Amino acid sequence: MESNKQEKSMSIVMLPYLAHGHVSPFYELAKRLSIKGFHIYFCSTPICLEPIRNINHFDHDHMNIHLIDLQLPSSFHQELPPHYHSTTNLPPHLVKTLLAAFDASKPAFSDILKTLRPELVIYDVFQPWAVEAARELNIEAVLFSTSVQSQRIKYDVTYLIESNKELMEYLLENSVNGLTPIQRFFQCVTSSSGHVVLVKSSTEIQAKFGKPADVFGDLVPVGPLVQRPQDHDGDEKIMDWLNKKEASSVVFVSFGSESFLSQEEIEEMAHGLELSNVDFIWVVRFHGGHNNVKTIHEALPQGFLDRIQIQGKGLILDWAPQAKILAHTSSGGFVSHCGWNSTLEGMMYGVPIIAIPQGGDQPLNATLAVDMGVAIEVPARGEKKITRQEVAKAIKTVVVEEQGKEVRRRAKELSENWKKKEDEEFHVAVEKLLQLVQQSKN
């Protein structure tokens, strides 16, 4: 097969769901495909594309990626203004409205496809209408699954029901336009061209699940697709602080862009970090300004900021370059909500995880990380709340104490293995896509 010739001539439209946890891995996949010579049309709402447009040197580094604005129908704008065309900071009562508006954007998406005439569409798990739009124009369409949750459904629905009833209730009961999330998912899986489903995963993770049912076709790992460390304005202070710390001595604390601790949990986390006596960087976020807490000073225990500043023990930030911090030699632990992107970043950079899952697929991700030997979990599921003692104990175990030696060793080992196999796994995925499109042409 003349791969180079085919790669250079092949164009792809990519359509992620309107959430940062979906847009980010889709964009990482777009970057890897663009390096291979594919022409990528990355399609989403303007608010979802805004962070990508703000990336330094975008035009120079990724000339094969073109950003395409998808406008949600104006009939939704009164209830759902453009700054809510993303799940980030979206009020909970508007979640279903956003999905309904996304569904209603099929005509606009079809117009984009008619104009661009790509050879392939890569779509997400919540929009079966994207496959319909592609098929109506005789364009192949392949599903890209960005979470381990959807991969686990492929193997064992019973496991999900028993391990995370709250998640399964959401997947089975929250209907929009007559479709529950689980129905959307299965429609997207079974409609994927050639029964090929790309998964943000590795062969090592896939091996943990065993063989999927035949209905799910060919699951093709594209690798972890973690962000590469990038320079941002204001990084110097953080990097200077890290550079002064010993190797593997700092714990990084972040709960992602859409998970937020309560006031009580913030206080317990603060005391836990102090009790651990481990240096830390903590990203403290509040939900879209709706939280009653107005400032970090009001959220944190009295005197906490003064104490850590005097001692030089920690940095409190409202945003941080996560990949850059995790890749730093001083990082020795990652307190995480275990969103799938964050979990894979911790694994890829060899930083053992202190798991405190909040909801959704995060408990499943935490369990997987523990099973793979690269994490320990703070007991805080269900009715059990985060306590300072458990936080301090977990951090000290992972970063300092002898009993955490095996977790630290396994994290480094997994990271080295993944880095060796990353290009090979991605090459296999690329060949699958080329074969699929070529067969369609023939």
228-263: buried (b, 16+ CB within 10 Å) or exposed (e) per residue?
A: ebeeeeeeeebeebbeebeebbbbbbbbbbbbbbee
- Which residues participate in catalysis according to the annotation? 22, 124
Residue type, 224: P
Of 10, 9, 13, which is closest to residue 131 (Cα–Cα)?
13
The vertex-66 CA angle with 62 and 72, nearest 5°, equals: 140
Contacts of residues 54-57 at CB distance under 8 Å and 24 or more positions apart, as own/partner, are 55/230, 56/230, 56/231, 56/232
Give the separation between CA 131 and CA 434, rounded to whole angstroms: 18
The SS3 call for residue 125 is: coil
Dihedral of alpha carbons 124, 129, 133, 138, sign = positive
Cβ neighbours of 329 (radius 10 Å): 13
Give the separation between CA 415 and CA 403, rounded to whole angstroms: 20
